[in-house]
Chain A
């Protein structure tokens, strides 16, 4: 028996996936390599959770298509899966709640595999809602960890007014953990340094440097499609075929939600004004 505790990790990626691209998939691979390289983690599962239509982002096409494209793209992966729970909710769900949901599911799955009574432990933990202390919190037991996987742009979006609730950010980095893939042009270390709350939980934020720059954005993909340009080799072939077969992404689809307020902004601004 080796003396070192290896923590099991599940990576969760939330986003529009409008559409999913090789870059999104690459993030999972990079994150897994990085975490396992530390010798402290074993990444057992990856979850892609497309956002619901109620997010009301401009150009967001129906969740059913975005789910199916994500599923097609992970056909050849033996560890990355797609989850529809978030997209099936009638209202937009805060990322923090999505993380919580998947964390509870993960614990429940562990309970089925484990002889140890994790349910009692989970109930006990819920009582201590505000006292999580970053990574030391999880080392009490060999409990698996759920980490939010994201690009540096998401990390920097923590600073956009009314997009995130401060307590949600604290919970995501404090109770769970973040794996942040840096793109050229972003400096996640600087952003963490400039944010007191991120600095406090910096031990739970894993920054992964992508040396092979791979800046395929879904926005560029949609723009190419509108202009009749090729997107082959930016996404898996079967997703390219799906988009063509269903005629997705046009000028019309890009105008969707153009005059609608993004759900988190509406919700948070409404709350703060009361």
Chain B
């Protein structure tokens, strides 16, 4: 009798500015890979767009990034969009988002809708499955994300330890060394579509068809997102994690 597979949920944090086919590919590649290890059963995927408080240059309003992600994932039967992070008043550390996802019921809900969302997520994440333990949550990311660990002041050391150690990462990357609890999914296809290039193409009135879903393109045109103006947003602002990390750590911070 084969060992029972551990149920797994993949969480992707990021700007999703905008969401692209490549982002959605990450989920597909990661799911296939984790299944092929024989140890995991991927039961869900979550796209969690960062809040406006992140302060990244060119970041358009969270409500748009959420709407586009929802349109893009309409046809997916296993990946959903989570608005919690984007609705927080300040930027949220990745590890906090991950903790929230695994222990939702402890956090107060601001509305019926949020309660319902929480219950739904609870049921995905926390309902004990007849065959085994509760689902694990791992962070899904691309190659550039691992590199951000090296940027001074961007991550707290104890957070890196918790994300990589307690939870675990599934990183879709062409190279690099494998580490404990960091699953490296060798990209079998080089797909360098990046949201930055797409925003550039949109500013220059170039086509982005077949790089992002049609419904997202329509939304972008309808709301006139991604112009020279939008790209200048937050210019000169310090990225929120850098500003926050520079402050002394309060004991109640988390």
A pairs with B: yes
A224 at the interface (CB under 8 A from B): yes
A189 at the interface (CB under 8 A from B): no
Interface of chain B residues 8 through 67 with chain A (CB within 8 A): 21-22, 24-25, 28-29, 31-32
Residue of A30, A213, A234, A236 touching B25 (CB-CB under 8 A):
A234
Q: Which of B94-102, B142-150, B157-165, B208-216 contacts A (4 or more CB under 8 A)?
A: B208-216
> With A230-B32, A232-B24, A233-B28 as given contacts, are A213 and B210 in contact (CB-CB < 8 Å)?
no
Q: Looking at A30, A32, A229, A236, which has the most chain B CB atoms within 10 Å of its CB?
A: A229
A33 touches B207 (CB 8 A): yes
Q: Please, how many residues of chain A have a CB less than 8 angstroms from a CB on the other chain? A: 26
Q: How far, in whole Å, are A32 and B205 apart by their CA atoms in the complex?
A: 12
Interface of chain A residues 74 through 117 with chain B (CB within 8 A): 76-77
A162 at the interface (CB under 8 A from B): no
Residue of A22, A230, A237 touching B29 (CB-CB under 8 A):
A230
Residue of B28, B75, B193, B214 touching A214 (CB-CB under 8 A):
B193
B194 at the interface (CB under 8 A from A): yes
Interface string of A22-51 (1 = CB under 8 A from B): 110110011011000000000000000000
Q: Looking at B22, B29, B31, B210, which has the most chain A CB atoms within 10 Å of its CB?
A: B210
Residues in B neighbouring A30, C-beta threshold 8 A: 207
Residue of B25, B29, B194 touching A212 (CB-CB under 8 A):
B194
> With A22-B210, A25-B209 as given contacts, are A215 and B28 in contact (CB-CB < 8 Å)?
no
Interface string of B202-234 (1 = CB under 8 A from A): 000011011100100000000000000000000
Residue of A29, A217, A232 touching B210 (CB-CB under 8 A):
A29
A212 touches B210 (CB 8 A): no
> With A76-B214, A230-B28, A232-B28 as given contacts, are A216 and B189 in contact (CB-CB < 8 Å)?
yes
Q: How far, in whole Å, are A232 and B79 apart by their CA atoms in the complex?
A: 13
Interface string of B166-196 (1 = CB under 8 A from A): 0000000000000000000000111111100
Residue of A213, A224, A232 touching B190 (CB-CB under 8 A):
A213
B192 touches A224 (CB 8 A): no
Q: How far, in whole Å, are A271 and B194 apart by their CA atoms in the complex?
A: 48
> With A212-B194, A215-B189, A220-B189 as given contacts, are A233 and B211 in contact (CB-CB < 8 Å)?
no
A32 touches B207 (CB 8 A): yes
Interface range, B side: 20 to 34
Q: How far, in whole Å, are A32 and B207 apart by their CA atoms in the complex?
A: 9
Q: Which residue of A lies closest to B212 (CB)?
A: A233
Q: How far, in whole Å, are A22 and B198 apart by their CA atoms in the complex?
A: 15
B189 touches A33 (CB 8 A): no
A211 at the interface (CB under 8 A from B): yes
Q: How far, in whole Å, are A224 and B189 apart by their CA atoms in the complex?
A: 10
B142 → chain A closest CB, angstroms: 14
Residues in A neighbouring B21, C-beta threshold 8 A: 22, 233-234
Q: How far, in whole Å, are A213 and B211 apart by their CA atoms in the complex?
A: 10
Q: Can you show 30 pairs from A to B with CB atoms below 8 A apart?
A: A22-B210, A22-B211, A23-B210, A26-B210, A26-B211, A29-B209, A29-B210, A32-B207, A212-B197, A212-B198, A212-B201, A213-B190, A213-B192, A213-B193, A214-B192, A214-B193, A216-B189, A216-B191, A220-B188, A220-B189, A230-B29, A230-B31, A230-B32, A233-B21, A233-B22, A233-B24, A234-B25, A234-B189, A236-B210, A237-B75
Query: Which chain B residues have a beta carbon within 8 Å of chain A's beta carbons?
Result: 21-22, 24-25, 28-29, 31-32, 75, 188-194, 197-198, 200-201, 206-207, 209-211, 214
